[in-house]
A and B are shown apart, each in its own frame.
Chain A
Amino acid sequence: MTETSALTLSMTRQRPLDPPDEVAGLRRHGAIHRMKYADGHLGWLVTGYAAARAVLAHPHFSNRPETQHPPIASTRLELAQRDFKLPPGFFLRTDAPEHTRYRKLLTGQFTVRRMKMLEPRITEITNDCIDAMEAKGGPVDLVEEFALPIPSLVICELLGVPYEDRETFQRESRTLFDLDAGADDAVAALGRIWAYLMELIQRKREQPADDLLSGLVQSGELNDEELTGVGVLLLVAGHETTANMLGLGTYALLTNPEQLALLRDDPSLAENAVEELLRYLTIIHLGPVRAATQDVEIEGVTIKAGEAVTLHLPAANRDPARFPDGEHLDLTRPAGGHLTFGHGIHQCLGQQLARTEMRIAYPALLRRLPGLRLAVTPEEVPMRSNMSIYGVHRLPVTW
Chain B
Amino acid sequence: MKIKADESVCIGAGMCALTVPKIFDQSEDEGTVVLLQDVPPADLEDAVRRAVTLCPSGAISIE
Contacts and interface: CB of A to CB of B under 8 A. Distances in A.
A344 B13 CA distance: 10
A111 B31 contact: yes
A108 B53 contact: no
A108 B11 contact: no
B27 A352 contact: no
Main secondary structure of the interface of B (DSSP, over half): loop
A191 interface: no
A104 B30 contact: yes
A352 to B, nearest CB: 5
Given A336-B54, A345-B57, A347-B56, A107 B32 contact: yes
Contacts, number: 66
A112 interface: yes
B17, B19, B57: residue with the most chain A Cβ atoms closer than 10 Å = B57
Contacts of B17: 111-113
B12 A108 contact: yes
Given A107-B11, A112-B21, A336-B50, A57 B58 contact: yes
Contact of B18 (A103, A104, A108, A352): A352
A337 interface: yes
A342 interface: yes
Interface string A56-90: 11000000000000000000000000000000000
Most buried by B among A110, A337, A351, A352: A352
B36 to A, nearest CB: 13
Interface string B16-39: 011101000111111110000000
A345 B11 contact: yes
Interface magnitude class on chain B: 20 to 34
Interface in A12-36: none
Interface in A304-353: 336-337, 341-345, 347-349, 351-352
A59 to B, nearest CB: 10
A81 B14 CA distance: 38
B54 A337 contact: yes
Contacts of B56: 56-57, 342-345, 347
B63 to A, nearest CB: 20
B13 A351 contact: yes
Nearest to B8: A100
Given A337-B53, A343-B56, A112 B18 contact: yes
Contact of A110 (B29, B31, B58): B31
8 contacts: A109-B31, A110-B12, A112-B18, A113-B25, A337-B54, A352-B14, A352-B18, A355-B18
Given A108-B27, A108-B31, A112-B17, 5 more contacts: A108-B12, A112-B26, A341-B13, A342-B56, A343-B56
